[in-house]
Amino acid sequence: MSDSSLQDQSSQEPRLKVAVLGGGSFGTALASIAADNGARVRQWLRDPQLAEQINREHRNGRYLPDYAINPAVSASVDMAWVLEDAALVLVAIPSKAFRDVVRQALPWINDRQILLTTTKGIQEDGFKLMSQILEEETGSTHIGVLSGPNLASEVADKQLTATVIASDDPLTRSRVQKALGCDYFRVYASNDRYGVELGGALKNIYAIAAGMAAALGMGENTRSMLMTRALAEMSRFAVELGANPMTFLGLAGVGDLIVTCSSKLSRNYRVGYALGEGRTLQEAVDALGQVAEGINTVRLVRDKANREGIYMPLAEGLYQVLFEGASPRGMAKMLMLNEQSSDVEFVLSRQAVSQAHQEGDIHG
Ligand SMILES: NC(=O)c1ccc[n+]([C@@H]2O[C@H](COP(=O)([O-])OP(=O)(O)OC[C@H]3O[C@@H](n4cnc5c(N)ncnc54)[C@H](O)[C@@H]3O)[C@@H](O)[C@H]2O)c1
Ligand SMILES: O=P(O)(O)OC[C@H](O)CO
């Protein structure tokens, strides 16, 4: 139990009631944190056997077999029971099923609850982020996004970790900081919900590329170049879509990019690594056995960038490798020989670089 949970218990405040929708590794780790902080936590999942195992052994054998879950977490397949009286609801469900699960929950959602998404993905129809789905389905004003460099197994292992709660509602920010912040999990606040959520979804694309580069034997210079150019590309995309580029300097931007592009614990990195070893996309996905959101995100972002005229050479290159059979090495070479560009576009624009080249050509 963390120090902060002791503080909570010694105060006279009523016990917070938390519901977590999703039985995957991050949902489970977050449920355990909230319980460490003294909350009554109920977790909803589809699989009755897994629910029974969590209740009996305080272990999630499917997603987090090696970690102890706080015994105060109770799991169930009964959505009504899980959401009963919940003041804070966390939705940790892959993007493809997110709206369906929120719809199942609707009868027990009310306008006093705080609703959080932890999902780093995009809905194809309308290019919607998960908090937008929460907003559309519930009409709530207490909506937030939890995102940051948060590999679930490290969180479950109580490695010192930081995350971001992003919401334009100050109450949501402060309540979530209090509910989840403890001596191994620090929660920073942001009011750029869109930027934070976009950062979490976009970095998955580049984690696939980083895994692929590692499997191909490319070195640290390459990884550093990839991450930095990824940050430039993510920020460019975000600015075009109206997010604040400064958000990408924070935990949910560069922070999450670093961890996901560096760790074999990342599912997106692992898919990329398998592709770099020569497996097909289907083989890589089958071997993973879990959802790597970046596969779908690369397609959606590449299509959106093409529609909106946003320059995204890395996303385009990865799309060609994943879905059009391009060779990873050939694509890497092509990107290296791409048109001359600028380092930091907010300092020197790409247009200024290409104009200098055109003028140089004219003057021989
Ligand atoms: N795992 C991590 O390290 C991590 C860290 C930070 C954020 N996230 C994000 O949080 C989200 C949840 O991640 P996770 O690792 O907890 O879980 P996950 O993405 O592996 O899957 C979550 C759960 O959703 C369930 N599920 C899938 N389809 C469903 C459906 N149609 N109906 C009901 N349940 C369904 C699965 O059975 C599983 O219990 C992800 O989208 C991810 O981007 C994950
Ligand atoms: O396992 P991934 O690739 O979905 O990434 C996990 C988290 O998003 C890391 O912050």
pLDDT at 96 over 80: yes
DSSP E strand boundaries for the chain: 17-21, 40-44, 73-76, 88-91, 114-117, 122-123, 128-129, 143-147, 161-166, 185-190
Exactly one of 17, 96, 128, 203 is catalytic; which is it? Answer: 203
AA letter at 300: L
Ligand 2 proximity of 95 Cβ (cutoff 6 Å): no
Q: pLDDT tens-digit profile of 319-349?
A: 999 999 999 999 999 999 999 999 999 899 9
Amino acid found at 49? Q
Residues with Cβ within 8 Å of residue 337, at least 6 apart in sequence: none
pLDDT for position 283:
96
Per-domain residue ranges of the chain: 17-191, 195-343
Q: pLDDT tens digits for 172-186?
A: 999 999 999 999 999
Binding-site residues from annotation for NAD(+): 22-27, 152, 267
pLDDT band at 66 (very low <50, low <70, confident <90, very high): very high
3 state DSSP class of 86: coil
**Beta-carbon contacts of residue 252 (< 8 Å; ≥ 6 apart):** 147, 148, 164, 166, 190, 195, 196, 197, 199, 200
Of the listed ligands, the closest to the CA of 252 is: 2
Q: Judging by beta carbons within 10 Å of its beta carbon (0-12, 13-18, 19+), is residue 242 exposed, middle or buried?
A: exposed
Which residue positions form the known binding site for NADPH? Answer: 25-26, 46, 63, 120, 152, 267, 291, 293
Look up tokens 């977050």; give the residue. Answer: 30
Model-level pTM?
0.94
Q: Return the CATH superfamily for domain 17-191.
A: NAD(P)-binding Rossmann-like Domain (3.40.50.720)
> Is residue 260 in contact with ligand 2, taking CB distance under 6 Å?
yes
Instruction: Please give the pLDDT value at position 362.
Output: 81
Ligand 1: which residue has its CA nearest to atom 22?
A: 24
Whose tokens are 């060779």? That residue is 327
- Would you give the distance in Å from CA 179 to the centre of its chain? 20
ipTM of this complex prediction, to 2 decimal places? 0.97
> What kind of fold does domain 195-343 have according to CATH?
N-(1-d-carboxylethyl)-l-norvaline Dehydrogenase; domain 2 (1.10.1040)
**Residue ranges around ligand 1 (CB below 6 Å):** 22-27, 45-46, 92-94, 97, 100-101, 118-121, 150-152, 290-291, 293
202 pLDDT band (50/70/90 cuts)?
A: very high
Q: Is the pLDDT of residue 272 over 70?
A: yes
CB 207 within 8 A of CB 315: no
In this structure, the residue with its CA closest to atom 13 of ligand 1 is: 26
Concerning whether 203 is annotated as a catalytic residue, the answer is yes
pLDDT band (50, 70, 90) for residue 11 = low
Residue-wise pLDDT for 69-95, tens only, equals 999 999 999 999 999 999 999 999 999
Mean pLDDT of 15-31: 98
pLDDT at 7 over 50: no
Three-class DSSP category at 188: strand
Region class of 158: left (phi > 0), else alpha (psi between -120 and 50), else beta:
left
